[in-house]
Every structure is written in C-alpha cells, then in structure tokens.
Amino acid sequence: MSNTPFQRLQTELSAKILSLPAETRLPSEPRLARQMGVSRATLREAMRSFEGRGMIRRRQGVGTFVVGKVPVLDTGLEMLESIETIAQRSGLKVRMGELQIQQVPADEEMAGKLNLSVGANLTRVARTIFTDQRPIAFLEDTLPQDILAAQELQIGFTGSVLDFLLQRGEPKLSRSRTEIRAVGAASEVARALQIQREDVLLQLAAQLYSDSNRVVDYSISYFLPGYFRFHVVRRVG
C-alpha cells in the first residue's frame, strides 16, 4: 500500500529535521510548506506531531527550532518523586528558573481540592525547571498557609516542594492521588516554557496527603513532550 501525502511529508520532514544540528531555526511555516509542496494546514499537523515527539520546539514570537537529541527523564509513576530526584538518578542536571511565591485566598475550586473553607489562606509556589538552558517543566503547588508559609522558601529552596516537606519532616506524608492528561498550554505556562499557546503538554495534577489523611498540597505539573518518559508497572490480575 502506498504512503499517503501526509505520511510522505512526515517521512521527508522527519529526515530533514534529524539532519539539522540542535537549535537550528526552521524556515517559517509558509516557506516550509512551499518547500515541501503541501498546504500550511497539512504542515501544521505534521509539526504538531514532531513537537509531541520532542523533535522541535516553538518559541512564541521567535520561531521553530530543532531540539536534537535530548536527555530523557525516565521514571515510573508508582513512586512519588521530584524532578530533581529523578534527574539525579539519571545523571542529569536540572535547575530552577524564576520562582513566584504568592499568598492567596482559597477560591471555590481550590477550597474543594484542599478540603478547606473558601477564603482560607494559601501559599502558591510557581516555578520553571530547566535543563541544558531549556525549560522542560512548569510546576505549581498550592498549600494551606499553616503547612507552608511563604517566608520558609526564601532561602535554599531549589524547586521541589515535595523534597522540602520530606526534609522538614512535618507533616508526615503518606500518599498522592494523581490525575494524568494531555492539555493545551495556557498563556502563563506557554510563556514559561517558551512554546506556543495551546501546544500540547503532559499534565499531572496531584493531591498530596499526610498520614492523618489531610490534603497538604495540590500540585499541577506541566511537562514538555520528548523530555520525559513516564511508565507504570502493573500486575496481571
């Protein structure tokens, strides 16, 4: 069976991308579509596929760049671990970018996630995680203020609220309930990760419980495709 025009485009464009050095800027979509002899809509669909595989990345207002071979953080989801712990085990270096700490009142949605009253005092911690000068994840944790006060993170915080709580030892942590889905990047997340708005990201939204069954943290983590490989080991039964 012969390949479809879209399949041929994917094969030819994939070969073109793989032949270029990392950080090479690709031609604009109109120009690249003319070069490949396809419509912009067809090209855009193929580019979304390559972005999902981590081969390219788009920077808002700048252009589309070849990613090249990138380090992949490979981990199972059975154990709750920070990006820093996963990276250390993989022999990779990650660092925290801009840190935003806010004291906010709980709206109806967050009050429900944390089992608190509307208006309760919360601490919100947002930051971007980098490797090789590239942003690869955007993390946001929201905690009751009596669990974590903003001033506690002013010195020595490296990016992981989980690691901070574990090292502090209080409260004792027991489990996490996590929802996993693919989402389009909102404006704030897109800016932080230097991608286009609505680009597809892997999202993990988790409630972290103490040993007294209290929800002590609600986190939302956004991961760039191509830099992370998550897996789950399941028993047959």
Q: Would you say the C-alpha torsion 38, 194, 181, 18 has a positive or negative sign?
A: positive
Same domain assignment for residues 92 and 168: yes
Same domain assignment for residues 28 and 82: no
Q: Would you say the C-alpha torsion 99, 112, 190, 9 has a positive or negative sign?
A: positive
Same domain assignment for residues 94 and 42: no
How far is C-alpha 161 from the geometric centre of its chain's CA atoms? 15
The CATH code of the domain that includes 56 is: 1.10.10.10
- Token match 């990779």: residue? 92
- Cβ neighbours for 33, distance < 8 A, ≥ 6 positions apart: 39, 40, 42, 43
Which one-letter amino acid corresponds to residue 62?
A: V
Same domain assignment for residues 85 and 59: no
What predicted TM-score, i.e. pTM, was given to this entire model? 0.78
Same domain assignment for residues 124 and 48: no
Residue 237 domain flag: no
Question: Count of residues for the chain?
Answer: 237
pLDDT at 231: 86
Under a CB-based contact definition with an 8 Å cutoff, are residues 227 and 136 in contact?
yes
Name the residue range of residue 107's domain: 73-231
Same domain assignment for residues 77 and 140: yes
Core vs surface per residue 125-156: b (16+ CB within 10 A) or e: bbbbbbbeebbbbbbbbbbbeebbeeeebeee
HSE toward the beta carbon, residue 201, CA cutoff 13 A: 28
Mean pLDDT, consecutive 10-residue stretches, the chain (237 aa), reads 72 86 89 90 84 76 80 85 91 92 97 97 97 88 97 90 96 96 92 83 96 98 86 87
Which one-letter amino acid corresponds to residue 180?
A: I
pLDDT at 26: 93
The CATH code of the domain that includes 206 is: 3.40.1410.10
Residue 107 domain flag: yes
pLDDT at 42: 87
pLDDT at 61: 80
* Total domains in the fold of the chain: 2
Same domain assignment for residues 143 and 51: no
Residue 55 domain flag: yes
pLDDT at 6: 77
Say how far apart CA 221 and CA 219 lie, in whole Å: 6
Same domain assignment for residues 116 and 203: yes
